[in-house]
Amino acid sequence: MNKKRWISGLLVGSLVGAGVALLSATHSGKETRAMISEKSLALKDKVSSTVDDTRTQIGELTSTVVDKTRDRFSQLKNAASKLSKEEVPA
């Protein structure tokens, strides 16, 4: 959740910064559009990289959870098998 909020903050901050830059621009319209284009591409790359990193982390975490769950299930299965083979005193 914290990373999601960080990404949202990054996007909102970038948009606000771009808006302020437009309002206080001392460059021509053409130069301003070029700068916006460059900044947009940089932001797109940053967001894409963050999404890829997050996707990788989720994949690794999922694999870890699946492996641990399988191990735990195997332990429980073995314990249940041992219990079913024990004789119960009458």
Q: What is the mean pLDDT of residues 45-60?
A: 92
The string of pLDDT tens digits covering residues 77-89 is 999 888 888 776 6
Mean pLDDT, the chain, as a whole number?
Answer: 85
Q: Using CA atoms, how far apart are residues 75 and 65, in angstroms rounded to an integer?
A: 15
CA-based nearest residue to 82, from 70, 74, 71, 90: 74
In terms of pLDDT, which residue wins out, 90 or 56?
56
Q: What is the mean pLDDT of residues 8-27?
A: 78
Q: What is the mean pLDDT of residues 53-73?
A: 95
pTM for this one?
A: 0.51
